[in-house]
Amino acid sequence: MSLLINTASAAAATPAGQQSPAFSFVMLGGMLVIFYFLLWRPQNKRAKEHKALIESLSKGDEVVMSGGLLGRINKVDDHYVALEIANNVEVKVQKSAIVATLPKGTMKAI
């Protein structure tokens, strides 16, 4: 009889269809871990790689801008670079707009 009473009181403590609060916290923690590995960690890795790219820029590097513009760096300032995009055509752009460096000699082929 006491087993039946304990079972009834346990059923009354958590209504049908609801989980315990501990299970909810475990699921919330699991979702945070998933977000960390799928979103936050890769974004931080890309940001570190881009920062390293920006810091390593030097005169003579051939680069690609975020809009697809190709150019050769003529001058490097703190926040800007001077890109030669054609013979005697130079533009000043922000360093953060540079997406990638190209192998040496790529501009000659264009």
For residue range 32-91, what is the model confidence (pLDDT) as tens digits? 999 888 988 999 999 999 999 999 999 999 999 999 999 999 999 999 999 999 989 999
Q: Does some domain include residue 1?
A: no
The CATH number linked to 67 is 2.30.30.140
Q: Is the pLDDT score of 17 beyond 50?
A: yes
Mean pLDDT, rounded, for 19-34: 89
Q: Does some domain include residue 62?
A: yes
Total structural domains within the chain: 1
Residue numbers of the domain that contains 64: 57-109
Q: Does some domain include residue 51?
A: no
Q: Which amino acid is at 107?
A: M
Note the pLDDT of residue 4.
44
Q: Print burial letters for 22-53: b (CB count within 10 Å at least 16), e (below 16).
A: eeeeeeeeeeeeeeeeeeeeeeeeeeeeeeeb
Q: Is the pLDDT score of 105 beyond 90?
A: no
d(C-alpha 52, C-alpha 101), whole Å? 12
Note the pLDDT of residue 92.
96
pTM above 0.75, yes or no: no
Q: Is the pLDDT score of 1 beyond 90?
A: no
